[in-house]
A and B are shown apart, each in its own frame.
Chain A
């Protein structure tokens, strides 16, 4: 009678230990996977910030050169300067913004406003052949084009990283562990209306 009891107790403890270890291992694996994926999102985010910073840094020079030739385009230039100023306080805000969907939306809005202001400026300058002939402007234009392209690339990679992360934390049973440790889904970049990925028509 006593021996049976003892064996039962030991078996019970052993079972509990086994269950405990397997739970620990499962949780640990999921947790570490989330950390890895979140780190990749943060890394992609810092690249996004870099390329936006790069664009913001280009603008003073660009405005300076354009001013020299296209004095009459004050409004267009002013719009760029203002949009740049709004963005100024927004770049390098760190990955914290990824946990605040509203701040993220504000960031995207400010950047997209700058994109469209720049686009208008680049349309306007078509009217100034002397400006287009200026080597400084040609170089700045190449840099701006390259930066816009980099922005598209880094935004796409960021969205891919977010997708991997969001998918991982929302799957069952990972979602239980994710919510226990407070892993939140992260926001995506939405396609810019008109500016992004519109395939150029070729004839």
Chain B
């Protein structure tokens, strides 16, 4: 009896834990290969394509490749929850797309944000999946399958939203990097100095809000160029950038899109 109760508690604790574990944190890149089926060059090239596309049109497309679906969930449920967590797209436009692939389950889904549902209908998403992507997936060529799919999805999304992301801290990060780095360090030191000297008052006058915002854009720019050594220097930048991917809150989907298997 006692044992039963114990296992009951254990299950109670473990199930939500497992469930929580199944969704990865919001990433710092567009293409996320948790299954290890893309080469680093392929991943970088997809990131470059999607990064430039977002920059130009504001439409944000995320890719997530896994091996298997976690227990106790199914493809559509997983995709919409991951969408809820990663929030691709702008919050007021909901112009995000999430492509999820499960290599060992041989399943994939294109999850379309609310804002793009009319330009990428379920039937169109299904055609993209079955006609463009799955023929490649069958051969295990995920890279070319994704490229073929993006070739259709990107113009469709662009047909509705073309908002260049100029004001999103982009102009700032154009300035020379070492100078910016020194400037940041200086501000942080000043801030810390102020706090230690004036106690709590400094915290109110020197809220480092703009620094954080700018930082988000910066760390992401670096990721895309793939200079890992510099990323270490930024350390905390990654955690700022995590939510600052597209300025915090993003778009939502309502279960639009299509699923496919092969």
The residue in chain B whose Cβ has the minimal distance to the Cβ of A153 is B255
B256 partner residues in chain A, CB cutoff 8 A: 146, 149-150
| Inter-chain contact A145/B72, CB cutoff 8 Å | no
| Inter-chain contact B76/A142, CB cutoff 8 Å | no
B259 partner residues in chain A, CB cutoff 8 A: 145
Interface residue from A142, A147, A153 paired with B80 (Cβ < 8 Å):
A153
The residue in chain A whose Cβ has the minimal distance to the Cβ of B71 is A199
Q: A197-B77, A202-B105 are in contact. Are A149 and B121 (CB under 8 A)?
A: no
> B44 in the interface, Cβ–Cβ < 8 Å?
no
Q: A47-B254, A200-B74 are in contact. Are A143 and B80 (CB under 8 A)?
A: no
Among A51, A139, A151: residue with most chain B CB under 10 A: A139
Interface of B (DSSP majority class): mixed
Bound-state CA distance A19–B122 (Å) is: 58
Among A138, A140, A147, A149: residue with most chain B CB under 10 A: A149
The residue in chain B whose Cβ has the minimal distance to the Cβ of A136 is B123
Among B74, B254, B256: residue with most chain A CB under 10 A: B254
> B126 in the interface, Cβ–Cβ < 8 Å?
yes
A154 partner residues in chain B, CB cutoff 8 A: 254-255
| Inter-chain contact B72/A146, CB cutoff 8 Å | no
Interface residue from A139, A142, A152 paired with B255 (Cβ < 8 Å):
A152
| Inter-chain contact B74/A199, CB cutoff 8 Å | yes
Per the CB 8 Å criterion, the residue count for chain A at the interface is 20
The size class of the interface chain B forms with chain A is 20 to 34
B253 partner residues in chain A, CB cutoff 8 A: 153
> B69 in the interface, Cβ–Cβ < 8 Å?
yes
Min C-beta distance of B163 to chain A, whole Å: 25
Interface residue from B69, B73, B126 paired with A142 (Cβ < 8 Å):
B126
Bound-state CA distance A200–B51 (Å) is: 35
Min C-beta distance of B53 to chain A, whole Å: 24
Bound-state CA distance A44–B87 (Å) is: 18
The residue in chain B whose Cβ has the minimal distance to the Cβ of A146 is B122
Interface bits B68-86 vs A (CB < 8 Å: 1, else 0): 0101111011001000000
| Inter-chain contact B74/A139, CB cutoff 8 Å | no
| Inter-chain contact A142/B258, CB cutoff 8 Å | yes
What are 24 residue pairs bridging A and B, where the CB atoms are less than 8 Å apart in the complex? A51-B254, A139-B123, A139-B126, A140-B123, A142-B125, A142-B126, A142-B258, A143-B123, A145-B258, A146-B125, A147-B122, A149-B255, A150-B254, A150-B255, A150-B256, A152-B255, A153-B80, A153-B253, A153-B254, A154-B255, A197-B77, A199-B72, A202-B69, A202-B105
